[in-house]
C-alpha cells in the first residue's frame, strides 16, 4: 500500500484519531491539537498508510526584527518504527520544506543530537547543510504544571552553583583569550564586525546548484538594494559559486564583478575575501576541464585569502583557501599546504578553523594516495572518519568510511575493503536512500579483485548508471573510467577484462 503525505489544516484533526502509538512522544492533547491546527503559523504534515498516521513533521514559521524574511523552525520529525527505511521521513521533510517556501521562508532549520545518526543522515539527505560548531540547547521552565514545573525545580537547584563559578570564570577570561590567540597562530576576531557564518549558507544543496541559485536570488531580492552590503556581496559570491559548479565560469566572474563593485568604499574583509575565494574557484577547481583552468590566477586568489584571512581574523575563509590550495597545486606543494593547514586548525581554538579538519584530513589522504603512499593515506582517511564520527555528520561520515575502504583496496586488504563497502550498502538501504554510484563501483572493483566475476558485473552496471545520472561531469572529465564501468557492467565485459 502506498504512503500518502498530507498537510493538515484546522478541519483535519479527525485524521489523527487513527494514530500509530509509536509516532509521537506522548499522547495527543485534543485541545492543544485544535489550537495548533488553527494557528496559521503552525504546520503539521503527516504520512498516512491506509488512513493510519505512521509519521509526522511539525514546524513553526516566524519573523524576527533582524531577519530579512520569515524562517521555518522544524520542531519534530517522527516515523513509526514499523515504517523505518522506506524514505517516509525524507518525504515528510520535503513536504514541510515546500510549506516553508509557500509562506515565504528563506531558511528552514532544525536541531538534533550528533549522536542521532539516523536524524543526521535524514537532514543531510534532504539537502540540509550542517552548521559548524557545537550547538547546545537550554530549556527554561516557565511553570504551568508538568514539564515546566520540573524544569523550574531543576534550574533553581543549579543556579547557586552557576553563580559561584561565574566570578572565577570572568576573572580568567582576558588571560585565557590572550593565551589562546598566541598559541593558535591566529589573531583575535575582535576586528571583524561581519557575520562569518550567515544564515543564508544553509540554503546550499551542493547536489543541485541550479535550485540553490534560485534560493540565493530570492534571498538577495529580500535583502533589497539598500540591504546590508556585506550580506548582499556574500550572497552574490555564492550565486557565482553555483554557476561555477555548473561550469559557467564566465557568468560566475560577471557576478563577482558585480559584487566587487558594491564593495567600493567599504572595509568589509569577510565579504571581500569570500568574493576573492570564489574568484579563485572560478579559475581552477575540480570541475574545470584542463583547458579551462588558470592555476596561476587561482593560486594568487587563494594565497591572498589565506594570508589576509589569518591577519584579519577571518579564520574559516583562510582555512577554505588553504584547502583549495591543497587541491589545485601540484602534489608536493599541495601536501605542504594541507599539512600546514592541518597544523593550524588542530592548534586553533576557533571552531571556524577547526571545522575544516575533516576536509583537510580527507584531501591530504588523497594526495598521499596519488603519490602511492597508501599507508600514510590510510592514516589520514582514518583520522577523517574518526573526526566525522565524533560529530555525527551522517553524510560526510559515509564518505569518510568509503575512503578508508578504497585505500584498503589499494593496500591489498581487499576483504576488509569489501566489508566496509557492504556496510555502506546496508546503511544506505536502512536510510531509504541509494548510493549515487561510488559505493557500487568499489563493490565491483573489490569483487573483481577477488576473482568473483559474476558477482561484480551487476555492481559495475549500477555504478555506471548511477554516476552517469548523478555525476554526469565524469563522462567528460574521466571518459576512460566511465567507459570501463560501462564495459564491465555489460554482457561479456568482465570476461574480456580477465580473458
- Mean pLDDT (whole number) for 267-296: 92
What is the layout of strands, in order, in the sheet containing 42-49? Answer: 3-8, 42-49, 52-62, 71-79, 107-109
Q: On the CB side of 429, how many CA atoms lie within 13 Å of its CA? A: 8
pLDDT band at 491 (very low <50, low <70, confident <90, very high): low
- Rounded to whole angstroms, what are the CA distances from 291 to 34, 241, 284, 295? 63, 19, 10, 11
Taking the domains of the chain in order of start, what are their residue ranges? 3-111, 191-352
pLDDT band at 424 (very low <50, low <70, confident <90, very high): very high
Q: What is the pLDDT of residue 46?
A: 93
pLDDT band at 453 (very low <50, low <70, confident <90, very high): very high
- Rounded to whole angstroms, what are the CA distances from 155 to 161, 163, 166, 215? 10, 12, 16, 41
What is the pTM for the complete model shown?
0.58
Residues 6+ apart with CB under 8 A from 227: 68
**Total residues found in the chain within this entry:** 499
Q: What is the pLDDT of residue 171?
A: 37
Range with the poorest average pLDDT among 79-88, 163-172, 312-321: 163-172
CATH code given to domain 191-352: 1.25.40.10
The more confident residue out of 207 and 104 is: 104
Residue 150 has pLDDT above 80, yes or no: no
Residue 152 has pLDDT above 70, yes or no: no
Mean pLDDT taken over the chain: 83
- Mean pLDDT (whole number) for 214-230: 88
Identify the residue whose cell numbers are 583552468: 293
Q: What are the pLDDT digits (tens) for 191-206?
A: 456 777 777 788 888 8
CB atoms within 10 A of CB 325: 25
Alpha carbons 162 and 423: distance in angstroms, whole number: 45
Q: DSSP readout, 303-338?
A: HHHHHHHHHHT-HHHHHHHHHHHHHHS-HHHHHHHH
- Rounded to whole angstroms, what are the CA distances from 236 to 201, 223, 256, 261, 300? 12, 12, 7, 11, 21
- Mean pLDDT (whole number) for 423-441: 88
pLDDT band at 419 (very low <50, low <70, confident <90, very high): very high
Q: What are the pLDDT digits (tens) for 210-220?
A: 999 999 999 89
Range with the poorest average pLDDT among 202-211, 416-425, 451-460: 202-211
- Mean pLDDT (whole number) for 86-102: 90
pLDDT band at 161 (very low <50, low <70, confident <90, very high): very low
pLDDT band at 27 (very low <50, low <70, confident <90, very high): confident
pLDDT band at 495 (very low <50, low <70, confident <90, very high): very low
Residue 180 has pLDDT above 90, yes or no: no
What cell does 328 get? 589545485
Residue 149 has pLDDT above 80, yes or no: no
Highest mean pLDDT among 106-115, 243-252, 426-435 belongs to 243-252
- Mean pLDDT (whole number) for 318-325: 92
Please, which residues bridge with residue 53 across strands? 19, 48
Q: What is the pLDDT of residue 16?
A: 93
- Mean pLDDT (whole number) for 261-281: 94
Class of the CATH-defined domain 3-111: alpha beta
Q: What are the pLDDT digits (tens) for 29-62?
A: 888 998 999 898 999 999 999 999 999 999 999 8
Highest mean pLDDT among 63-77, 238-252, 422-436 belongs to 238-252
Please, which residues bridge with residue 73 across strands? 60, 109
The more confident residue out of 126 and 33 is: 33
Q: What is the pLDDT of residue 174?
A: 35
Residue 396 has pLDDT above 70, yes or no: yes
Alpha carbons 245 and 248: distance in angstroms, whole number: 8
Contact yes or no for 67/222 (Cβ under 8 A): no
Cα 275 → chain centroid = 21
Reference 206, options 395, 467, 416; nearest CA is: 395
pLDDT band at 114 (very low <50, low <70, confident <90, very high): low
Reference 40, options 56, 66, 58, 60; nearest CA is: 60
Q: What are the pLDDT digits (tens) for 289-313?
A: 888 999 999 999 999 999 999 898 8
What cell does 67 get? 531577519
What cell does 252 get? 560566475
Residues 6+ apart with CB under 8 A from 178: none
Alpha carbons 41 and 102: distance in angstroms, whole number: 12
192-196 CB contacts, 8 Å cutoff, 24+ apart: 192/269, 192/270, 192/312, 192/313, 192/314, 194/230, 194/268, 194/269, 194/270, 194/271, 195/230, 195/231, 195/270, 196/270, 196/314, 196/315, 196/316, 196/317, 196/352
Contact yes or no for 477/470 (Cβ under 8 A): no
Residues 6+ apart with CB under 8 A from 398: 121, 424, 427, 428
Residue 392 has pLDDT above 90, yes or no: no
Q: DSSP readout, 342-406?
A: HHHHHT---HHHHTTHHHHHHHHHHHHHHTT-HHHHHHHHHHHHHHHHHHT-HHHHHHHHHHHHH
State the DSSP code for 131.
Answer: P
Residue 179 has pLDDT above 50, yes or no: no
Q: What are the pLDDT digits (tens) for 397-408?
A: 999 999 999 999
Residues 6+ apart with CB under 8 A from 116: 392
Amino acid at each position: 500500500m502506498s504512503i500518502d503525505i498530507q498537510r493538515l489544516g484546522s478541519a483535519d484533526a479527525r485524521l489523527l484519531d487513527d494514530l500509530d502509538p509509536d509516532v509521537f512522544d506522548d499522547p495527543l492533547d485534543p485541545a492543544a491539537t485544535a489550537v495548533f491546527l488553527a494557528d496559521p503559523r503552525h504546520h503539521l504534515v503527516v504520512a498516512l498508510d491506509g488512513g493510519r498516521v505512521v509519521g509526522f513533521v511539525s514546524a513553526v514559521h516566524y519573523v524576527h526584527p533582524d531577519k530579512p524574511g520569515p524562517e521555518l523552525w522544524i520542531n519534530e520529525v517522527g516515523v513509526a518504527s514499523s515504517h523505518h527505511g522506506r524514505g517516509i521521513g525524507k518525504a515528510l521533510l520535503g513536504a514541510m520544506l515546500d510549506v516553508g517556501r509557500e509562506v515565504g521562508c528563506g531558511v528552514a532549520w532544525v536541531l538534533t543530537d550528533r549522536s542521532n545518526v539516523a536524524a543526521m543522515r535524514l537532514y543531510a539527505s534532504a539537502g540540509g547543510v550542517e552548521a559548524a560548531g557545537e550547538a547546545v540547547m537550554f530549556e527554561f521552565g516557565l511553570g504551568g504544571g508538568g514539564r515546566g514545573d520540573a524544569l523550574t525545580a531543576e534550574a533553581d537547584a543549579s543556579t547557586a552553583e552557576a553563580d559561584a563559578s561565574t566570578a572565577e570564570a570572568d576573572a580568567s577570561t582576558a588571560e585565557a583569550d590572550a593565551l589562546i590567540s598566541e598559541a593558535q597562530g591566529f589573531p583575535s576576531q575582535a576586528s571583524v564586525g561581519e557575520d562569518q557564518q550567515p544564515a543564508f549558507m544553509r540554503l546550499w544543496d551542493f547536489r543541485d546548484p541550479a535550485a540553490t541559485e534560485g534560493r540565493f536570488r530570492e534571498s538577495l531580492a529580500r535583502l533589497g538594494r539598500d540591504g546590508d552590503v556585506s550580506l548582499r556581496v556574500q550572497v552574490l559570491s555564492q550565486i557565482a559559486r553555483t554557476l561555477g559548479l555548473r561550469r559557467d565560469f564566465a557568468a560566475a566572474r560577471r557576478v563577482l564583478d558585480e559584487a566587487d563593485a558594491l564593495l567600493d568604499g567599504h572595509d568589509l574583509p569577510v565579504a571581500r575575501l569570500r568574493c576573492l575565494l570564489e574568484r579563485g574557484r572560478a579559475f581552477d577547481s575540480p570541475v574545470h576541464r584542463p583547458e579551462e583552468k588558470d592555476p596561476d590566477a587561482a593560486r594568487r586568489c587563494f594565497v591572498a585569502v589565506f594570508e589576509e584571512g589569518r591577519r584579519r581574523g577571518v579564520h574559516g575563509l583562510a582555512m577554505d583557501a588553504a584547502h583549495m590550495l591543497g587541491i589545485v597545486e601540484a602534489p608536493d606543494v599541495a601536501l605542504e599546504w594541507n599539512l600546514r593547514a592541518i597544523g593550524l586548525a588542530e592548534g586553533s581554538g576557533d571552531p571556524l578553523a577547526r571545522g575544516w579538519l575533516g576536509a583537510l584530513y580527507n584531501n591530504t589522504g588523497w594526495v598521499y594516495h596519488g603519490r602511492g603512499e597508501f599507508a600514510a593515506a590510510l592514516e589520514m582517511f582514518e583520522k577523517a572518519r574518526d573526526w566525522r564520527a565524533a560529530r555525527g555528520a551522517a553524510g560526510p561520515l559515509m564518505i569518510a568510511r568509503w575512503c578508508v575502504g578504497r585505500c584498503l583496496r589499494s593496500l591489498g586488504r581487499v576483504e576488509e575493503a569489501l566489508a566496509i563497502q557492504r556496510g555502506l550498502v546496508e546503511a544506505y538501504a536502512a536510510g531509504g536512500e541509494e548510493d549515487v554510484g561510488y559505493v557500487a563501483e568499489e563493490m565491483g572493483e573489490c569483487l573483481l579483485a577477488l576473482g568473483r566475476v559474476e558477482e561484480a558485473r551487476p555492481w559495475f552496471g549500477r555504478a555506471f548508471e548511477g554516476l552517469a545520472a548523478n555525476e554526469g561531469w565524469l563522462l567528460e572529465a574521466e571518459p576512460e573510467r566511465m567507459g570501463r564501468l560501462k564495459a564491465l557492467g555489460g554482457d561479456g565485459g568482465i570476461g574480456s577484462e580477465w580473458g
